[in-house]
Chain A
Amino acid sequence: MKASISASERLKYFAPQIEKTSLSTKVWIVILLMFIAAGGVALYQQIAIGHVVTGMRDNVIWGLYIANFIFFIGISYAGAILSGVLYVFKVPWRRPIVRIAGLVTIAAGLIGPVFILLCIGRFDRMHHLFLYPRLQSPITWDVMAICTYLVGAVLYLYLTLIRDFSLYSDADFLNIPNWKRKLYKTLSLGYKGTGVQKKQLKSATRLLAIVMIPLVVIISSVLSWIFGMTLRPGWHSSIFGPYFVIASILTGVGVIIIIMWTFRRLYNLKEYLTDKHFTYMGFIMLVLAAGYGYFSFSEYLTGWYGSEKWDSEVLSKLFNTNEYGWWFLFSNIFAIVLPILVVALPKLRKPGPIAFSALLMVFAMWVKRYLIVVPTLETPLLPVQDTRMEYVHYAATWQEWALTFAGIATFLLIFIISSKLVTIVPTSDYIDDEKA
């Protein structure tokens, strides 16, 4: 670690990230915008023609969108709880990870709720959720919880950025446009690192970090209760709350590892995002994967052993290789077994394999979200009235896929734009430590 270099030298090291936008980055942005444009076309069709362009019907009323919603919002929760825990417990290796976790929180937190809006048939009545809320409804809880959470997440990320904003605005050697410097100056709230300011900022950050931890646990549980409170096979389970919490954090940790690996290579941050960071994050992933595996086993064993009619029907679909069997197997092996194996074996405990296993795990967890939503809805308690194939079995249409890829593209785009505004490694943290 560069312990003896000056503040300006350290900032100069990170400066190219926020000073320039390389050709490769611009190409990336164009590619992502193309995906978003494709999503825009799909969205236009969905609005103009109606939900009939999706695979959702009377019977299977949710599909890809809800799976994406749970996936993204879960990632966001993980970013918040991870940055909160690392900050509160003053984990020494937290610095380069906290900023990434904070950005993941905001990017995923903004995209996730959009997917649930895409499911709403009467979008013109959206405001009724706030005007005429029904307090007994888990949907109401979730709407209130997500709104509250997003405000806290933005506030928390902002608190962790103030010192960096001050640093950027004061650094004359930074080759940035005037509007950017003014923006940094405004956002820094005049922070100069005086004793009073340090105290106020530290206490505010610590207070919010403490609040975010239980808040994330509660709202992640609330998200699960949209399913858990419903009397449907595969959903109505008392462990859905903790099951969702642990699944969210596991997925989020995976996403953070992938982003760490990407930025480490992209901005040559090997000295800041070291092998040690990957190992520690790998251990967290291992513990979470083991916990998630335990919950999964407990959930499915209980349902299978009870042999209740409808539970058995859902499980038979998950175990049948002609239906969802292969995907179910894939999700369990790549989300549970693979991360444990890769981190447990010392030879594989390296940034590359850990990041690769995280990538597969994240995809497997997305598949798992799909398997939570669709097979249950394809197993109604009452006989299906309209027996056309598209009413009995759900199949996502190109519009749904296009919007899904647009969501992923937006997530990456937010990250790229954010990395052009703030350094991925929180520079002020290192400088303050050196002064201390």
Chain B
Amino acid sequence: MVSNINQLLTSFGKMAFALLLILWLTPSNLFAQTPPATEEPTEEAAEADDAAEAETEEPEKFSSKMSLSTTQYLGDTVELQGLLRAKMDKSWSAVPNEKVSFFAVGDEDEKALGEMVTNAKGIAKLRISAKAMALNADGYLAFAARFAGNDELEESDGDANIVRASMKLTPVKEDSTITISLNVTAPSADGETPIAEADVVIYVKRMVGRLKVGEGTTDEEGNVDIDFPTDLAGDDLGNLFITALIEDYEEYGNIAAATVQPWGRPISYKISELPKSLWSPNPPNWMVITFFVMMAAVWGHYAVVLYKLSQLKKAS
């Protein structure tokens, strides 16, 4: 028996040793995908590395830029929208997940309005009521947005000065025609002053983005009527989310008004049940039955065997 063991050991041991050699001692010769061994660094290279390390201790920060825009809604509501970007590779890219602070700027002091974090597009939005806000000496509502900077980005800020304005939206449905009547005004000492020659665009919210459905320009009275399409698809109740928008007009900034109207065709987005087939999530009945019958048959036998084993123990 000893000689047999020795024979086995000799033959298998040689094989195993050879394989180990192949695996461990010469991997780079055998397997082309093994990365090449790195050379020992020279003294000059080491010094250069040290210098580079010293330089990287205080890395240069990227420039950042904050743009602040405003949108005025009816009822003295103002939405502040700060866009934060950073200059990388000679182009400006949006900076997400950074805190932006908003301020109302007075003649002598400023008041913090709140902080928001930028989204994936680098935008931070804050909606406030400007009813109680005082105008500055020039008659503007003044706002500022600030980014405090971080380890990689420099600080930046942006400001916006706007004159109060509002847009009143009146939906009108007569027979088979639908119209959006708009009245755009700015408050003044004499009451409401119409804003003329302002271009208004009507948008409807869609699944992705918004759809432009009409446009017009305000007259001397600040009024404009815009026809609204009657064949739009709405949600399951037929509701449409409508926005009228004047973009960056003179010293008013953006002016907007919104409403929800049941003017669309009701569309149910509930997915109808897919057939029982190979491609759908629902397997054919025969497949389900076959699968469970077979599994039950096998596991049933296992259960019987386990029962018999328990009987075996009892019998002892």
Let me know if B20 and A22 touch, CB within 8 A. no
Chain B residues with CB under 8 A of A262: 8
**Binary contact track B163-185/A, C-beta < 8 Å → 1, others 0:** 00000000000000000000000
Chain A residues within an 8 Å CB radius of B24: 38
**Which of A200, A265, A267 makes the CB contact (< 8 A) with B311?**
A200
Give the total of A residues in contact with B, Cβ under 8 Å.
49
Q: CA A105 – CA B281 in complex, angstroms?
A: 35
B7 closest partner in A (C-beta): A265
Contact B19 A405 (CB under 8 A): yes
Q: A35-B16, A148-B298, A159-B305 are in contact. Are A135 and B313 (CB under 8 A)?
A: no
Once the chains are docked, how many angstroms separate the CA of A382 from the CA of B293?
39
Residues of A within 8 A of B299 (CB): 148
Q: Which of B28-36, B143-151, B219-227 contacts A (4 or more CB under 8 A)?
A: B28-36
In the bound complex, do residue B315 and residue A196 qualify as a contact, i.e. CB atoms below 8 Å apart? yes
Task: Tell me, in angstroms, the Cα distance from A13 to B294 when the chains sit together.
Answer: 44
Given contacts A200-B308, A268-B1, A397-B33, contact A208 B23 (CB under 8 A): no
Using a CB-CB cutoff of 8 Å, which residues 261-280 of chain A contact chain B?
A: 262, 265-268
A211 within 8 A of B: yes
Q: Is the CB of B315 within 8 A of A197?
A: yes
Contact B312 A200 (CB under 8 A): yes
Q: Within the complex, what minimum Cβ distance (angstroms) separates A166 from chain B?
A: 9
User: Which residues between 363 and 377 of chain A lie within 8 Å of chain B, taking CB atoms?
Assistant: none
User: In the assembly, what is the distance between CA of A155 and CA of B298, in Å?
Assistant: 12
Q: Which of B47-55, B114-122, B241-249, B283-291 is the contact stretch?
A: B283-291
- Is the beta-carbon distance between B34 and A190 smaller than 8 angstroms? no
Q: Is the CB of A152 within 8 A of B30?
A: no
Question: Do A398 and B312 touch (CB < 8 A)?
Answer: no
Among candidates B8, B301, B302, residue contacting A265 with C-beta atoms closer than 8 Å: B8
Chain B neighbourhood of A119, CB < 8 A: none
Task: Check: B37 CB closer than 8 A to any chain A CB.
Answer: no
B302 contacts A397, C-beta separation under 8 Å: no
Residues of B contacting A197 in the complex (Cβ-Cβ under 8 angstroms): 312, 315-316
Q: How many angstroms from the CA of A151 to the CA of B278 in the assembled complex?
A: 29
Q: Which of A24-32, A292-300, A427-435 contacts B (4 or more CB under 8 A)?
A: A24-32
Q: Which residues of B contact A155 (CB under 8 A)?
A: 302, 305-306
Q: Which residue of A lies closest to B1 (CB)?
A: A268
Q: Are A191 and B33 in contact (CB under 8 A)?
A: no
Return the contact of B278 from the options A136, A148, A405 (Cβ within 8 A): A136
B280 to chain A, nearest CB (A): 9
Q: Is the CB of B287 within 8 A of A215?
A: no
Chain B residues bordering chain A, tally (CB within 8 A) = 44
Centre residue among B7, B313, B316 by max chain A CB count within 10 A = B316
Whether A38 lies near B287 (C-beta < 8 A) is no
Q: Say yes or no for A344: interface residue by CB 8 A criterion.
A: no
Please tell me if the beta carbons of B281 and A204 are within 8 angstroms of each other in the complex.
Answer: no
**A135 (CB) vs chain B CBs: closest residue:** B283
The interface residues of chain A lying within 8 Å CB-to-CB of B23 are: 35, 38, 398, 401-402, 405
Asked if B75 lies at the interface with its beta carbon under 8 angstroms from chain A, I say no
Contact B33 A55 (CB under 8 A): yes
B32 x A190 contact (CB < 8 A)? no
Given A265-B8, A405-B23, CB of A136 within 8 Å of CB of B283: yes
Interface check B9, CB cutoff 8 A: yes
| Residues of chain B contacted by A144 (CB below 8 angstroms) | 291, 295
A189 touching B16 in the complex, CB below 8 Å, given contacts A148-B298, A397-B33: no
Contact between B13 and A397 (Cβ–Cβ < 8 Å)?
A: no
Contact B315 A194 (CB under 8 A): yes
- Residue A348 at the chain B interface, CB threshold 8 Å: no
Which of A31, A35, A151, A397 lies in contact with B31, CB distance below 8 A? A397
The CA of A404 and the CA of B295, in the complex, are separated in Å by 32
For residue A38, which residues in chain B have a CB less than 8 angstroms away from its CB? Answer: 20, 23-24
Assess the B287–A136 pair: CB atoms within 8 A.
yes
Could you list some 30 contacts between A and B, CB below 8 A? Answer: A24-B5, A24-B8, A28-B12, A31-B16, A34-B20, A35-B19, A134-B281, A135-B287, A136-B283, A136-B287, A151-B302, A155-B305, A162-B312, A189-B309, A189-B312, A192-B316, A200-B311, A200-B315, A204-B308, A204-B312, A208-B305, A211-B301, A262-B8, A265-B7, A266-B8, A395-B32, A398-B30, A401-B23, A405-B19, A405-B23
Chain A positions near chain B (C-beta within 8 angstroms): 22, 24, 27-28, 31, 34-35, 38, 53, 55, 134-136, 141, 144, 148, 151-152, 155, 159, 162, 189-192, 194, 196-197, 200-201, 203-204, 207-208, 211, 215, 218, 262, 265-268, 390, 395, 397-398, 401-402, 405
Which B residues lie at the A interface, using CB under 8 A?
1, 4-9, 12-13, 16-17, 19-20, 23-24, 27, 30-34, 278-279, 281, 283, 287-288, 291, 294-295, 298-299, 301-302, 304-306, 308-309, 311-313, 315-316
In addition to A162-B312, A266-B8, 10 A-B residue pairs with Cβ atoms within 8 Å of each other are A27-B9, A31-B13, A38-B23, A148-B298, A190-B316, A194-B316, A200-B309, A266-B5, A397-B31, A397-B34
